[in-house]
Chain A
Amino acid sequence: MKKRYTISVFTEDIVGLLNRVTIVFTRRKINIESIAASDSEVQNIHRYTIVVNETEDLVKKVTLQLDKQVEVIKAVYHVDQEIIYQEIALFKVLTDILMQGGEAEHIVRAHHARVLSVEPEFTVIEKTGHKEETQHLFDELEPFGILEFVRSGRVAITKPMRTLTSIVNELENTY
């Protein structure tokens, strides 16, 4: 059964490594729903957070093939219950629609969205949350006209207590 999985890939900080990581998905024609690249808590170690909708069997094989890449330090996968995750979405709307003192302003308040910037012509609203939440705000604002929309990839923190530092220490002691 297909399910949403979050794959965390910890890598050395090297040009082109993202390509090597995505090739593993491309080869099996797996669609990456979202991807976020960032630093980790350990200096010079990058992490990619990749979300896919696939069967566990396939996700397991892909994770092993990611782990096999020479400069991948560790690859792990989790279901939503095993992680704390968040996404951020930005909305650009006409300032006018918020000025009319009506429903649009009420929607923004009800969603606890933040106003990042107000310009004479447009306003930028920020909403962080799960995809369903940012999508909900999108659906409600859409009738008023959304000039631009962007949503980040998922970032996730895992619940298990094993730290990256301990994994790295173990690896450094064995090679």
Chain B
Amino acid sequence: MEKLKETSRSKKQESIAPKMSGAQAVVYSLIQEGVDLIFGYPGGAIMPVYDALYDVEDKLKHILVRHEQGATHAAQGYARASGRVGVCLATSGPGATNLITGIADAQIDSTPMVCITGQVASSLLGTDAFQETDVIGISMPVTKWNFQVTRAEEIPQAIAKAFYIAKSGKPGPVLVDITKDAQFGTLDFKYKPFKGLRSYVPTPSLDFNKITAAAKMINAASRPLVLFGQGVILAEAEAEFKAFIEKADLPAAWTILGLSALDSDHYLNVGMLGMHGNYAPNKLTNKCDVLIAVGMRFDDRITGDLSRYAKQAKVIHLDIDPAEIDKNVKTDVAVLGDAKVSLEALTKCIEAKENKSWIHEFRKLEFEEYEVVINEELNPSVDELSMGEVIRSINDQTNGDSIIVTDVGQHQMVSCRYAKFKGSSKSMITSGGLGTMGFCLPAAIGAKMAVPNKQVIGIIGDGGFQMTIQELGTIFQTKIPVKIVVLNNEFLGMVRQWQELFFDKRYASTTMVNPDFQKIVEGYSIESRKVTDRRDLNGAVGEMLAHEGAYFLEVKVAKENNVFPMVPTGASVSEIRLK
């Protein structure tokens, strides 16, 4: 039987060690980590931990979700809005397997999350016991780290290690599987925060030669372009990033996970990258002379055809993860390290200058996009409502100071394109890498619990809403005042758009025959309104925002609108289509 290694270097004074059960040790370890809220669902193999939770409800609040997937997305929403570790709890077997989608989502979007699962007794492992599943094996490809605990005395250190790994370096999800006999066993409880492992370098140290080389390249650039991602948010480097781009007058474009790190109206914010991003940054990616990527990983939805991506440019890549360097785009200078530290050092070494005529090129393309796409999306000339005008109405009435959570699909792209943010990082919570439909409703619940004093608005399509619609029960039970906006086009819109453009309008299984959503939310005592006429939109959004409790707003939008611009699959970013 393996043991967790003693890796703490400083021998701290050990306080008195009360005797307790493994289950109690789980709960007290969480409290020691500063956790006050967890999301979960009970079941046979995790019952001892639930029993221990019953005694500490005042210190450690448990939110009963309606499906374990909901627990993971709620924990993700909580983590993304707060910067803290999200925690979920589930039983063995189906409870554990239901976590997998959320864990995979957290892995690809680098969200710190600790999942604790119950497991059958260690004597039954491998015997196909009731509700036994090899969750360690199943979760291995989608966790940053996982571990099975089979003895009570391993629990405190396993949990300490889990939190350390989840939040350090490039964050990610970890899973600790605890057999039922370990939960029932007893131990002398001593808790020591984890200090590190020799095999794990969370943050590479900064190489000043790279900083100098990068600065030299930036100083020599006449058409620089910065691409930034969630790395800026995870490193809490928003101020350093702003100082960096302002000093050398660097136009900066964002990935959807980097959105909200820089004010939408900042003069150097040149918009969204990628498949449905803005015209200017996509076009000019293939015209810039130096491309500076900060905390982003050149996802295929950003780059389009890699063989025709920024080939003319020198590439500087700032990232915390060595495995991201040269993974997709060949880098000329790689600066490893935490974005906050790297940016601060780099800003000192770059020269102040202006790039007026280069920035003017962005403005010209922005104008073109406004004329062809944006104006019609925000101010439609037809009777049918557009998704964009709903977002505009929310912008107008929240001044960019709310947290926007989205699901996946057309409404997500529209929300990312048009939602405005001002002075409020960590305010766009969306499933980027995995593209998980059903993410929004539970993630919005988690986000609201993390930041209760902020307006949290979940924007969902009619398809994704029904994927985790059961979490309305969580809203009902907790009375959490989230605002839910369903943009209903009675289609799986993004798939339908692709069918229209690339599959001869053969709308295979994308038509949604929907129930009366208002009747459903009424069952959960959630206030609601449905808008079918433009004249009611602003009033309804206002009513939603002013309402104290949870609120459901359904907006009937045009059935067959498409999201443009678009970089079709296989095309180069500069081949972005405006229509």
| CB of B556 closer than 8 Å to a CB of A | no
Which residue on chain A has the smallest CB distance to residue B164? A70
> What total of chain B residues lie within 8 Å of the partner, measured CB to CB?
24
Do A174 and B201 have beta carbons less than 8 Å apart?
yes
| B145 contact set on A, CB distance < 8 A | 70-71
List residues of chain B with CB within 8 A of the CB of A16.
136-137, 140, 148
A64 contacts the other chain (CB 8 A): yes
Q: Mark A1-45, 1 if CB is under 8 A from B, else 0.
A: 000000000011111100110010001000000000000000000
Q: Is the CB of B198 within 8 A of A70?
A: no
Q: A16-B136, A27-B141, A70-B144 are in contact. Are A175 and B322 (CB under 8 A)?
A: no
Q: How far is the CB of A122 from chain B (nearest CB, A)?
A: 35
The 5 closest A-B pairs by CB, nearest first: A175-B196, A64-B323, A73-B199, A171-B198, A70-B145
- A61-B323, A68-B323 known; A19+B140 contact, CB < 8 A: yes
Distance, CA A22 to CA B201, complexed state (A)? 21
Residues of chain B in range 192-247 having any CB-CB distance to chain A below 8 Å: 195-201, 205
The answer to whether residues A61 and B197 also contact, given A19-B140, A68-B321, A70-B165 and a CB cut-off of 8 A, is no
In contact, A175 and B140 (Cβ under 8 angstroms): no
Q: Which residues of B contact A95 (CB under 8 A)?
A: none
Taking CB atoms and an 8 Å cut-off, the chain B residues in 110-149 that contact chain A are: 136-137, 140-141, 144-145, 148
Say yes or no for B327: interface residue by CB 8 A criterion.
yes
Q: Can you show 30 pairs from A to B with CB atoms below 8 A apart? A: A12-B197, A12-B199, A15-B2, A15-B148, A16-B137, A16-B140, A61-B323, A61-B326, A64-B327, A65-B323, A67-B323, A68-B321, A68-B323, A70-B165, A70-B197, A70-B199, A70-B200, A71-B145, A71-B200, A72-B199, A73-B199, A171-B198, A171-B201, A172-B198, A174-B201, A175-B195, A175-B196, A175-B197, A175-B198, A175-B200
CA distance A125 to B327 in the complex (A): 46
* CB-defined contacts of B140 to chain A, threshold 8 Å: 16, 19-20, 23
CB of A168 within 8 A of chain B?
Answer: yes
Interface flags, A148-175, vs B, CB<8A=1, else 0: 0000000000000000000010011011
Residue numbers in A under 8 Å from B325 (CB-CB): 64
In the complex, whether B12 has a CB less than 8 A from a CB of chain A is no
Task: Write out the residue numbers on chain A whose beta carbons fall within 8 Å of the beta carbon of B141.
Answer: 23, 27
Give Cα A11 to B325, complex, Å: 23
* A172: chain B residues within 8 A (beta carbon): 198
| Cβ-defined partner of A11 (8 Å) among B137, B195, B199, B326 | B199
Known contacts A19-B140, A171-B199; decide if A12 and B323 are in contact (CB<8 Å).
no
Chain B CB count within 10 A is highest, among A13, A14, A72, for: A14
CA distance A73 to B205 in the complex (A): 17
Chain B: CB-nearest residue to A68: B323
A61 and B327: CB pair below 8 A? yes
Asked if B535 lies at the interface with its beta carbon under 8 angstroms from chain A, I say no
Complex interface bits, A50-64 against B, C-beta within 8 A gives 1, otherwise 0:
000000000011001
Complexed CA–CA distance, A12 and B198 (Å): 9
B197 touches A71 (CB 8 A): yes
Q: Given A171-B201, A172-B198, A175-B201, A19 and B137 touching (CB < 8 A)?
A: yes
- Which chain B residues have a beta carbon within 8 Å of chain A's beta carbons? 2, 5, 136-137, 140-141, 144-145, 148, 165, 195-201, 205, 321-323, 325-327
A-B contact sample (20 more), CB < 8 A, given A23-B141, A61-B327, A174-B205: A16-B136, A16-B137, A16-B140, A19-B137, A20-B140, A23-B140, A64-B322, A67-B322, A68-B321, A68-B323, A70-B165, A71-B145, A71-B199, A72-B199, A73-B198, A73-B199, A172-B198, A174-B201, A175-B195, A175-B200
Residues of B within 8 A of A19 (CB): 137, 140
Instruction: Find the B residue at minimum CB distance from A167.
Output: B198
- Determine the distance from Cα of A71 to Cα of B198 in the docked complex, in whole angstroms: 8
Q: Collect the chain A residues with CB atoms within 8 Å of residue B199's CB.
A: 11-12, 70-73, 171
Within the complex, what minimum Cβ distance (angstroms) separates B331 from chain A?
A: 13
B5/A12 in contact, CB under 8 A = yes
Nearest-CB distance from A162 to chain B (Å)? 16
Look across to chain B and name the residue whose beta carbon is closest to the beta carbon of A174.
B201
Which B residues are in CB contact (< 8 Å) with A73?
Answer: 198-199
Residue with the greatest number of chain A CB neighbours at <10 A, chosen from B5, B141, B198: B198
Q: Which residues of B contact A27 (CB under 8 A)?
A: 141
Q: What residues on A are CB-neighbors of B137 within 8 Å?
A: 16, 19
Chain B proximity of A42: nearest CB distance (Å)? 11
Q: Which residue of B lies closest to A66 (CB)?
A: B323
A27 to B200, alpha carbons, bound, how many Å? 22
Give CA–CA (A71, B136) in the complex, Å. Answer: 15
In the complex, what residues of A have CB within 8 A of residue B321's CB? 68
Q: Which residues on B sit within 8 Å (CB–CB) of A13?
A: 2
Q: How far is the CA of A97 from the CA of B141 in the complex (A)?
A: 50
Interfacial chain B residues near A15, Cβ < 8 Å: 2, 148
Most chain B beta-carbon contacts within 10 A, residue among A11, A60, A70, A171: A70
